[in-house]
Chain A
Amino acid sequence: MVRFCLLTIVFACLVPLTASAHKVWLLPSQTTLSGNDPWVTVDAAVSNDLFYFNHVPLRLDNLQIIAPDGSPAEAQNQATGKYRSVFDLQLQQSGTYRIAVVNNGLFATWEVDGQRKRWRGNREAFASEVPQDAKDLKVTESVGRIETFVTNGVPNETALQPTGVGIEVVSLTHPNDQYAGEESRFRVLVDGEPAAGLAFEIVRGGTRYRNALDETTVTTDEKGEFAVTWAEPGMYWLETSKQDNKVQGTLASTRRLSYAATLEVLPQ
């Protein structure tokens, strides 16, 4: 079980670094709701295709839900299966909820008797679990955010305020106001500052039913912004990652940042 969990976490966090293949995502059952206390159910997985459960579940240990008034909201009925994690959320407030899995941790590799060791965890565990004098010890900080948004009634912005940590995308067009044929604008922040030249991969779901990914690549301009005109309605996945040296403390030498979001684009 422990190995299984570790493996899952490693996969979930490795995704951005391997650049190829695996996609991490949160998929809400719907993004636009109305009425008194409607519910959404959310799937969380790491997969080869969008949005199918065919690899490993995404762990929910670092699930953070922000309610429309900015307070934390509680996920219910959490469960993790073979291929996916799932949870429910009751939208007790009117407005926009930000649902995110935020992973901030350390990743270490070293060598023992010619064998490569890998470790992933938080700062506290590092001291006791990683031999500090290990051969070829390489420590990397990772800051990752996987998120999606749902709105009950009138959309609002309170939950969307950037936290200033890692890569974040500020939707200049509200994330739950995406329509096919319309242009949406986004501003990308790294540690709260606009980030130019960052490439995003954008893929529409349902990849199983077509031969090519049909991904779009956009790069942020000098203001850290990019625009997308959605060709078709559907659930879309946006992903980016980058590496820098802005580490916290002295343990790590490099930092890997990643970001993935799921947005629903509705038909006209």
Chain B
Amino acid sequence: MVRCFFSALAGLMLAYCSCATTQAEQLSVSVEIPQLNVSEYHRPYVAIWIEEPSSKTVRDLSVWYQMRQGKEGHGTKWLPDLRQWWRRSGRYLEMPVDGVTSATRPVGKHVLEFSHEQAPLKDLPAGSYTLVVEAVREVGGRELVKIPFQWPVDAPQTKDAKGDSELGGVSLTLKP
């Protein structure tokens, strides 16, 4: 915890310093996986992506799924349960995807940072987009949360949304 605090502090200072020198658009996504009082709990599969108004996926930001071989086979079997993501993007990808896919995450708040200088945001054309977060849990439910935004940004802003069941607070922070 203490180490966490210091690294966060260091991160902040670093962010502050770099802001002073370069203009780097930042996009950060905070996704809360809520504590659920259920008899059989599995960590949710979560997909986070950016889509165009036409619903076409333009960037996959992150996908959390069971990457190791389990009793019922590889976790890819359940990826189509992330229905919208599977339809828009997942089924066209070869799993795992470098820098995008990772293991499922525990209850709590998870923050992902992206810079416009690096993949997947690199070369994202200016325009209207929607951040989509989809979560699905084995023997549980499924939920989709959307936050529209403009890219690039001229002033810092934070947009919040909230899930009702499988997702807690979701927020999108944009910094010029």
Q: How far is the CB of A113 from chain B (nearest CB, A)?
A: 60
Interface stretch (choices A17-25, A32-40, A205-213): A32-40
Interface stretch (choices B69-77, B109-117, B123-131): B69-77
Assuming A32-B86, A267-B83, A268-B84, is B91 touching A154 (CB within 8 A)? yes
Can you name 7 extra interface pairs (CB under 8 A) apart from A34-B76, A154-B91? A33-B77, A33-B80, A34-B86, A34-B91, A35-B77, A267-B83, A268-B84
Q: How far is the CB of B73 from chain A (nearest CB, A)?
A: 7
Contact assessment for B80 and A268 in the assembled complex, using a CB-CB cutoff below 8 Å: no
Contact assessment for B80 and A34 in the assembled complex, using a CB-CB cutoff below 8 Å: yes
> How many chain B residues touch A (Cβ–Cβ < 8 Å)?
14
Contact assessment for A266 and B76 in the assembled complex, using a CB-CB cutoff below 8 Å: no
Contact assessment for B74 and A268 in the assembled complex, using a CB-CB cutoff below 8 Å: no
Q: Mark B127-145, 1 if CB is under 8 A from A, else 0.
A: 0000000000000000010
Contact assessment for B77 and A266 in the assembled complex, using a CB-CB cutoff below 8 Å: no
- Residue pairs across A and B with Cβ atoms less than 8 A apart, 27 shown, are A32-B80, A32-B83, A33-B77, A33-B80, A34-B76, A34-B77, A34-B80, A34-B86, A34-B90, A34-B91, A35-B73, A35-B77, A35-B79, A36-B73, A36-B74, A38-B77, A153-B91, A154-B91, A154-B92, A155-B91, A177-B87, A179-B87, A266-B83, A266-B87, A267-B83, A268-B84, A268-B144
What residues on A are CB-neighbors of B79 within 8 Å?
A: 34-35
A-side residues, CB < 8 A to B, are 32-36, 38, 153-155, 177, 179, 266-268
What is the number of contacts between chain A and chain B, taking CB atoms within 8 Å? Answer: 31
What residues on A are CB-neighbors of B91 within 8 Å?
A: 34, 153-155
Counting from the closest, the 5 A-B pairs by CB-CB distance are A35-B76, A35-B77, A32-B80, A34-B79, A34-B80
What residues on B are CB-neighbors of A177 within 8 Å?
A: 87
What residues on B are CB-neighbors of A267 within 8 Å?
A: 83
What residues on A are CB-neighbors of B77 within 8 Å?
A: 33-35, 38
Q: Mark B80-97, 1 if CB is under 8 A from A, else 0.
A: 100110110011100000
Q: Mark B38-76, 1 if CB is under 8 A from A, else 0.
A: 000000000000000000000000000000000001101
What residues on B are CB-neighbors of A38 within 8 Å?
A: 77
Cα A34 to Cα B80 with chains together (Å): 7
What residues on A are CB-neighbors of B92 within 8 Å?
A: 154
Q: How far is the CB of B47 from chain A (nearest CB, A)?
A: 13
Cα A247 to Cα B144 with chains together (Å): 53
Q: How far is the CB of B65 from chain A (nearest CB, A)?
A: 11
Q: How far is the CB of A98 from chain B (nearest CB, A)?
A: 18
What residues on B are CB-neighbors of A36 within 8 Å?
A: 73-74
What residues on A are CB-neighbors of B87 within 8 Å?
A: 177, 179, 266
Cα A177 to Cα B87 with chains together (Å): 8
Cα A154 to Cα B89 with chains together (Å): 10
Q: How far is the CB of A133 from chain B (nearest CB, A)?
A: 59
Cα A35 to Cα B90 with chains together (Å): 12
Chain B residue with Cβ nearest A94? B91
Q: How far is the CB of B56 from chain A (nearest CB, A)?
A: 14
Q: How far is the CB of B82 from chain A (nearest CB, A)?
A: 10
Chain B residue with Cβ nearest A30? B80
Chain B residue with Cβ nearest A38? B77
What residues on B are CB-neighbors of A155 within 8 Å?
A: 91
Cα A268 to Cα B87 with chains together (Å): 10
Cα A179 to Cα B84 with chains together (Å): 10
Cα A268 to Cα B146 with chains together (Å): 12
Cα A179 to Cα B77 with chains together (Å): 21
Cα A40 to Cα B92 with chains together (Å): 21
Query: Which among B79, B80, B90 has the greatest number of chain A C-beta atoms within 10 A?
Result: B80
Query: Which among A35, A179, A268 has the greatest number of chain B C-beta atoms within 10 A?
Result: A35
What residues on B are CB-neighbors of A35 within 8 Å?
A: 73-74, 76-77, 79
Q: How far is the CB of A92 from chain B (nearest CB, A)?
A: 15
Cα A179 to Cα B87 with chains together (Å): 10
